[in-house]
Amino acid sequence: MKVDNFRLTLGGKEYVPIIIGGMGVNISTTELALAAEKLGGIGHISDAENGYVCDRIFNTSFVSRKRKKYAEFIDNPDKSKVLFDLAEVEAAQKKYVEHTISQKTGNGAIFLNCMEKLTMNSSSPTLKVRLRAAMDAGIDGLTLAAGLNLRTLDLIQDHPRFNDVKIGIIISSVRALSIFLKRAVRLNRLPDYIIVEGPLAGGHLGFGPDDWHTFDLHTIFTEVAAFLKQEGLDIPLIPAGGIFTGTDAAEYLQEGAGAVQVATRFAITREAGLPANVKQQYLSAEEEDIVINMASTTGYPMRMLRQSPTLRYAIKPNCEGLGYLLENGGKCTYIDAYYKALAEKKPGEPLVVEEKTCLCTGMAKYDCWTCGHTTYRLKETTNRLADGSWQIPSAEDIFLDYQHSTDHSIKLPEPETGA
């Protein structure tokens, strides 16, 4: 049995049941999402730090304009007045989404991963603009991630595409799902798909820092499936986190999953946004290099490579230009940690900021190497080159391997010269 024996049906349309997860900041690039769409699957882009991403891609100046506007607060730990211009947020979102959607050539779809914990010092207004602008720009689907804001649907319920755009949520427990569904039922707008993310996923985790290892994806998936059956709800379930081979995926599809979401193996493809040297770090990683920490200012645990430069950051907060993780009122635990360290620093000693890191800058500079647990297995999926480095596969190589492989086999890309 293989993945290609199954299809995901959403809104009467069939897709190859492979979804590439939304990895930010701009790791899931336009090119990566389009690779899945071309092959009949679903690709995500991420709207994490959308202004910064637009500046990199289109040479716009969203970040510099914001930094200039709030320059007087650079040395002030009080960031309460550092706010995003909603018109700028809307413009960046539309520009990026339209750029991606306009290049579709296949029978698949492009979804947007919307990280709800990007509170941007004004959580509801900025989230509302991000969602509505993406819908205006023609996005095929919205995946609500990292936060499960129970009022999110309220923000778009009067949009003309409220019942047209596909809406999905990422959850890690029946409890989280049941809470969300209560509000969705009141609005008569159930999610079109549910992504069940297990504890082996990359980035932020929906589990406690000390008990994540007591959970497993299959158990959560089974519990959620039973809950939906009990409630009489027929909503496609999409497991995610640790699905490394096509056979892993096919086993879930045989058990009733609508599709699978995968990301780790695509993070090191040619189309992914990570710099070439960072992709080599992922490919060379061993299992002991993969750690879970509480360095994120969101309060959620994160899985990343221990070599991540962001874990050694002692940089001044860049909230004037970025500031995507500022809580309402301008608070951020990294700001607190930075200024505490600065006050306690003794002359001649280096500045050391403990416990928290500046995620906004770290993710923008590709210094925050978030990863799935199976990252240490990436070396199994490609060829070693003569110089000791690893061959970088294409997204098509990985997608087709998931779609057609059997018996937990992994088809390596065609060797390059010197492999």
Residue 68 and residue 55: Cα distance in Å, rounded? 15
Task: Note the pLDDT of residue 418.
Answer: 53
pLDDT of residue 150: 76
CATH architecture type of domain 3-404? Alpha-Beta Barrel (3.20)
pLDDT digits (tens, 9 = 90+) for 316-341: 999 999 999 999 999 999 999 999 99
- How far apart CA 108 and CA 16 sit, in angstroms, is 8
CA distance 210 to 212: 6
d(CA 197, CA 186): 25
Residue with tokens 């050391």: 352
The reply to whether the predicted model has a pTM over 0.85 is yes
Q: Quote the pLDDT of residue 148.
A: 66
φ and ψ at residue 128, rounded to 5 degrees: -60, -45
CA 138/CA 148 separation, integer angstroms: 23
pLDDT of residue 419: 53
From the list 112, 93, 94, 111, the residue with the least C-alpha distance to 10 is: 111
In the chain, which stretches have pLDDT less than 50?
none
What is the rounded CA–CA span in Å between residue 378 and residue 399? 14
Adjacent-strand bridge partners of 204: 302
- The domain spans of the chain are 3-404
Do 370 and 385 contact (CB within 8 A), yes or no? no
**Dist. CA 325–CA 25, nearest whole Å:** 13
Neighbours of 2 (CB within 10 A): 16
The answer to whether the beta carbons of residues 68 and 109 sit under 8 Å apart is: no
Q: Residue written as tokens 């069940």?
A: 196
Which residues lie closer than 8 Å to 267 by C-beta, 6 or more apart? 23, 27, 202, 274, 279, 282, 371, 375
Query: In Å, how far are 162, 188, 248, 408 from 393, measured between CA atoms?
Result: 38, 43, 20, 18
pLDDT tens-digit series, residues 143-163: 998 776 678 999 999 999 999
For the stretch 323-362, what's the b/e string if a residue is b when 16 or more beta carbons lie within 10 angstroms of its beta carbon? bbbbbeebbbbbbebbbebeeeeeeeeeeebeebbbbbbb
